[in-house]
């Protein structure tokens, strides 16, 4: 099945669904990621703090001709935001994967109290110029953080990976990114650890299409032009998630799911304006 793509303002094109790899580590992680690639996933998400760049890289190196189609992603941790440290951390990420480059590299969190994210962004720009990474972006950045980066460096991210799921639909953020030509990736797209998949509204919509609640939620992401990054280790779940991109919800169904949003919808109260991670 051909996976649709979304395109950023600079022409960067990414699949509308990718594989989250948090806790996919070691040999079992290599096997699970390899299965996903064979199933058709081409966007693979990782991070320094996931401690699995090696597993992701090994799976990518075993992909044969599919390697050139893959978008291998990693993220810079908060402890390495200073310019020189960031460049070294990026080099180490590339070395750990065993690949010639990492296709998409993000700053994991802005950590605004530290006020070093502009330095980190300049390091990502340099890494791109040196060919260590192909594309650069952000994770968990707010519009004011992005505006500052663009004002001070003249370089916009191709993507911002943020928390998006039906209890936290982030419509204002989506509108901002669309206006700026920045793609949005959604982490925890199925609302990890909450009761989303048991919600009667989602259950009713899923039943009407003959799909699982998870597939209905992923179709909602696709309809809203959010690149979902569900984690799945089992081949069956991986294929089910991938199949969701072929499901079309009605506008009313999309609105009904979006209406489930809550003021306190964040999974762990991780507000990027104050939350910091190292």
**Strand ranges (E), the chain:** 5-7, 13-15, 19-20, 43-45, 71-76, 102-107, 133-139, 159-163, 183-187, 226-228
Task: Evaluate if pTM is beyond 0.75.
Answer: yes
Tens-place pLDDT, residues 203-240: 999 999 999 999 999 999 999 999 999 999 999 999 99
Is 50 marked active-site? yes
Catalytic residue among 22, 41, 50, 176: 50
Tell me: the pLDDT tens digits for 158-175? 999 999 999 999 999 999
If DSSP codes are grouped into helix, strand and coil, which group holds residue 243? Answer: helix
Tokens of 107: 């700053």
pLDDT in tens, the chain (278 residues): 789 999 999 999 999 999 999 999 999 999 999 999 999 999 999 999 999 999 999 999 999 989 999 999 999 999 999 999 999 999 999 999 999 999 999 999 999 999 999 999 999 999 999 999 999 999 999 999 999 999 999 999 999 999 999 999 999 999 999 999 999 999 999 998 889 999 999 999 999 999 999 999 999 999 999 999 999 999 999 999 999 999 999 999 999 999 999 999 999 999 999 999 99
Residue 100: how many CB atoms within 10 A of its CB?
9
Which helix (H) or strand (E) segment is 149 a member of?
A: helix 143-153
Q: What is the reported pLDDT for 193?
A: 83
Cβ proximity of 55 and 26 under 8 Å: yes
């Amino acid at each position: 099945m051909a996976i649709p793509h979304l395109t950023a303002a600079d022409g960067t094109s990414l699949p509308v669904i990718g594989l989250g790899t948090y806790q996919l580590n070691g040999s079992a992680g290599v096997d699970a990621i390899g299965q996903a690639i064979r199933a058709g996933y081409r966007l693979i998400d990782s991070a320094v703090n996931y401690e699995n760049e090696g597993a992701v890289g090994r799976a990518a190196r075993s992909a044969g001709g599919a390697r050139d189609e893959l978008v291998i992603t990693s993220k810079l941790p908060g402890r390495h935001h200073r310019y020189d440290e960031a460049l070294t951390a990026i080099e180490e990420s590339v070395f750990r994967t065993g690949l010639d480059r990492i296709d998409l590299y993000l700053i994991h969190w802005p950590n605004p109290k530290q006020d070093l994210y502009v330095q980190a962004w300049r390091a990502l720009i340099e890494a791109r110029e040196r060919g260590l990474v192909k594309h650069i972006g952000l994770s968990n950045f707010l519009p004011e953080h992005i505006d500052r980066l663009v004002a001070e460096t003249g370089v916009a991210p191709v993507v911002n990976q943020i928390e998006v799921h039906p209890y936290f639909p982030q419509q204002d953020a989506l509108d901002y990114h669309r206006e700026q030509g920045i793609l949005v990736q959604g982490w925890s797209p199925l609302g990890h650890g909450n009761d989303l998949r048991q919600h009667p509204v989602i259950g009713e919509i899923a039943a009407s299409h003959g799909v699982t609640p998870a597939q209905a939620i992923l179709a909602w992401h696709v309809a809203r032009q959010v690149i979902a990054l569900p984690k799945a280790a089992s081949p069956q779940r991986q294929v089910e998630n991938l199949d969701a991109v072929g499901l079309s919800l009605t506008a009313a169904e999309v609105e009904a799911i979006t209406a489930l949003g809550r003021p306190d919808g964040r999974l762990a109260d991780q507000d990027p304006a104050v939350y910091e991670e190292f």
